[in-house]
């Protein structure tokens, strides 16, 4: 029992050290590059909106989606971005994050002509790298919740992309505990993807021009 207890302590310590180190690396990448106020963020030609599901599993509204769309619309309307690239998942029939985001933005009076859709943003890494490799963007504003922004900024930095980020309203831990726990594991995965596994996007394809 004593050996088992000691082994458990070692496992807990290693897990805590891993999560803590990955969180620190990601926070450093986002230091000074995530803005909470629209009036303070510099102007960039393109805002990259990172995808999420419009609905929760129970069919209710997903507040992460709602707040990201509101943030993107706000940045456009106050002139902080001129164009929006919506990057999300569309690998299942009947599930289309970019189209859902576009529909919601148009409902908030964002003109369809300033919106471009990226249907192959299956992961945050794919969205960031495709913005540069497929859409030719070397300088843009990332739009998501702060933790997600910081993770995306780490990816951008590793690929030599000049990115800043705008923090959409977050969702409280008590309301979305599962999502926050998922983010902890996503932080570990992105560090492994970038520094150990050197993971590439699943799809690249032909280049597209944002006008």
Q: What is the mean pLDDT of residues 166-183?
A: 77
Q: What is the pLDDT of residue 5?
A: 65
Residue 91's CATH number: 3.40.50
Q: Decide if 2 is inside a domain.
A: no
59 within some domain: yes
Query: Does 12 reside within a domain?
Result: no
Q: How far apart are CA 61 and CA 67, in angstroms?
A: 11
CA–CA dist 135, 44 (Å, integer): 15
Q: What are phi and psi of 115, to 5 degrees?
A: -120, 130
pLDDT in tens, 117-162: 999 999 999 999 999 999 999 999 999 999 999 999 999 999 999 9
Total-model pTM: 0.88
- pLDDT for 176 equals 63
Give the span between the Cα atoms of 87 and 192, in whole angstroms.
22
Measuring CA to CA, which residue among 184, 62, 85 is closest to residue 137?
85
The answer to the question of residue 41 being in a domain is: yes
Sheet hosting strand 162-168, strand order edge to edge = 34-35, 162-168, 139-145, 44-50, 81-87, 115-118
How is residue 142 written in tokens? Answer: 């990332």
The pLDDT value recorded for residue 52 is 93
Tell me, letter by letter, the H, E, C secondary structure of 154-182.
Answer: HHHHHCCCEEEEEEECCCCCCCCHHHHHH
**Is 189 buried (19+), middle (13-18) or exposed (0-12) by CB count in 10 A?**
middle
| Structural domain harbouring 165 | 18-197
In a domain, 151, yes or no: yes
Q: Is residue 50 situated within a structural domain?
A: yes
The tally of domains found in the chain comes to 1
Q: Is 24 part of a structural domain of the chain?
A: yes
**Is residue 1, in this structure, part of any structural domain at all?**
no
């Amino acid at each position: 029992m004593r050996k088992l207890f000691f082994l458990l302590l070692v496992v807990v310590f290693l897990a805590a050290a891993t999560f803590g180190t990955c969180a620190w690396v990601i926070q450093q990448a986002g230091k000074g590059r995530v803005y909470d106020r629209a009036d303070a963020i510099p102007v960039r030609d393109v805002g990259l909106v990172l995808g999420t599901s419009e609905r929760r599993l129970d069919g209710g509204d997903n507040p992460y989606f709602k707040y990201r769309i509101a943030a993107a619309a706000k940045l456009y309307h106050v002139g902080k971005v001129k164009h929006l690239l919506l990057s999300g998942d569309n690998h299942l029939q009947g599930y289309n994050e970019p189209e859902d985001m576009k529909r919601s933005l148009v409902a908030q009076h964002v003109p369809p002509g300033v919106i471009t859709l990226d249907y192959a943003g299956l992961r945050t890494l794919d969205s960031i790298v495709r913005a540069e490799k497929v859409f030719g963007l070397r300088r843009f504003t990332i739009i998501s919740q702060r933790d997600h922004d910081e993770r995306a900024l780490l990816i951008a930095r590793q690929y030599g992309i000049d990115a800043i980020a705008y923090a959409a309203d977050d969702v409280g831990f008590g309301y979305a505990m599962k999502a926050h726990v998922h983010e902890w594991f996503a932080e570990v995965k992105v560090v492994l993807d970038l520094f150990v596994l050197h993971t590439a996007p699943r799809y690249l394809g032909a280049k597209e021009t944002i006008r």
